[in-house]
Structure 1
Amino acid sequence: MAEINAQTDKQFVIQKIYTKDISFETPNAPKIFTQKWEPTLDLNLGTHVNAIDTSVYEVSLTLTVTVKVGEATAFLVEVNQSGIFMIAGFTDQEMGPMLGSFCPNILFPYAREVISDLVSKGGFPQLILAPVNFDALYMQQLQQAQAQQAPEDKTLN
């Protein structure tokens, strides 16, 4: 009978990828379509993890894109792209990057496609968001959390 080594018995399964919430607004239509198209773009993104069951997690990636022409908002689009992932056999140290970086990396292309479709259907030029380095964002988030925790640790001594 084969012996299973717990160190190599890691499992990762994508169970479902879905769009959880969508919002698209063009508050200054139809006037915005008569303006010279020199847009500025603001992108905000966030992630949220919800444990559904043992080894099953819902990871949500929220992207909010605001495009302005001058001071007028051309459009605002928000997409919450989510996925259900079965993740087992990873250490606690490995789970952070899996949920905070690896899963959002999987979800991002789906969210980018939804945003591109919404913007085009809203009457605007196609918008293709640049790739996002979720590994770097996750590391930055860890560093910020450590920096915020460090002053608290010093006050306890």
Structure 2
Amino acid sequence: MSEEKIKKNIFEIQRIYIKDISFESPHTPNIFYLNWKPIIKIDLNTFFKKIEKNIFEIVLQIRVIVKIKDNVVFLCDVHQAGIFFISNLKEDQLSHCLHSYCPNILFPYARECISNLVSRASFPQINIAPINFDSIYFNHINSKKQHK
């Protein structure tokens, strides 16, 4: 990297990719004949690691579990990842970028992947609503402050 590039605040997406993907439908084909009144649970996590100076891998994990009564219809787990070059941010700005801004970029890719997997398994489409990562991040920060 040139000295000029490191002195400026720079954010670059270097790569977006699937890190891990899983889809299970343990009760097919019998599950197709049940009355379709699903219970849908969505879990969301973000992880990051520093690869080298100014380069970070961010992973957005979305797990969708759909049940009818006690029967698992399907479990879909997507780890959508990206490599980002982020330079010259203050600590609080970097934290916000890693925990909110980057996952927000990754979310549409993960949502599309889940939608495709579900439809390829011949289940009704699931449209995951947009997620306000800023709100989640700031609620987490405020919660940590209150517990100090």
The residue that corresponds to 1:61 in the other structure is 60
The residue that corresponds to 1:124 in the other structure is 123
Instruction: For structure 2, list consecutive stretches of 5 or more residues without a partner in the other structure.
Output: none
Matched, 1:14 2:1: no
The residue that corresponds to 1:112 in the other structure is 111
Give the TM-score taking structure 2 as reference length.
Answer: 0.93
Shift of 1:30: 1.0
Instruction: For structure 1, list consecutive stretches of 5 or more residues without a partner in the other structure.
Output: 151-157
The residue that corresponds to 1:40 in the other structure is 39
Aligned residue pairs: how many?
144
The residue that corresponds to 1:30 in the other structure is 29
Q: Give the counterpart letter for 1:43 in structure 2.
A: I
1:62-141 aligned at under 5 Å gives the runs 62-141=61-140
SS at match of 1:104: helix
Supply the distance in 2 between the matched residues of 1:120 and 1:44 (Cα, whole angstroms): 20
Q: Give the counterpart letter for 2:71 in structure 1.
A: A
Divergent runs of 4+, >4 A? none
Q: Which moved more, 1:139-148 or 1:52-61?
A: 139-148
Give the TM-score taking structure 1 as reference length.
Answer: 0.87
Shift of 1:144: 2.7
Higher radius of gyration, 1 or 2: 1
Shift of 1:115: 0.2
Q: In angstroms, what is the RMSD of aligned CA positions?
A: 1.5
Structure 1 vs Structure 2: percent identity of aligned residues?
A: 42
